[in-house]
Amino acid sequence: MNIIDFLKFCQDYRIDYDQSKRGWISIRCPFCSDKGRHFGYNLEKGYGFCLRCGWHPVDLTIQSLTGFSKMKAKALVSLYELIPGSEGVWTNRETENLIHVDHVRWPDGCGPMTDSHKLYLLNRGFDPDELEREWELKGTGNWGGHSFRVIVPIFFDGEVVSWQGRDITDEQGAKYLPCPKEWEVLPYKHLLYGLDKAKWKKAVVVEGVTGVWRLGQGSIGTFGATWTLSQLLLISKTFDEVLIFFDGDEAGKRAAEKMFVSLEGLGKEAEILEPMGCDSGNISQDEADEIMEEVRK
Percent over 90 (pLDDT), the chain: 42
pTM exceeds cut of 0.85: no
Domain boundaries, the chain: 6-91, 115-189, 195-295
Alpha-carbon gap, residue 280 to 215, rounded angstroms: 8
CB atoms within 10 A of CB 81: 21
| pLDDT value for 5 | 86
Q: Which residues have CB under 8 Å from 121's CB, separation 6+? A: 127, 128, 131, 150
For 6-91, which CATH superfamily applies? Answer: Zinc finger, CHC2-typedomain (3.90.580.10)
The CATH code that applies to domain 115-189 is 3.90.980.10
- Statement: residue 42 has pLDDT above 70: yes
- H or E element in which residue 24 lies: strand 24-27
Architecture of the domain made up of 195-295: 3-Layer(aba) Sandwich (3.40)
Query: 3-state DSSP call for residue 159?
Result: strand
Give per-residue pLDDT as tens, 64-119: 998 888 888 888 887 788 765 433 334 444 544 555 567 899 999 999 999 999 99
Mean pLDDT of all residues belonging to the chain: 86
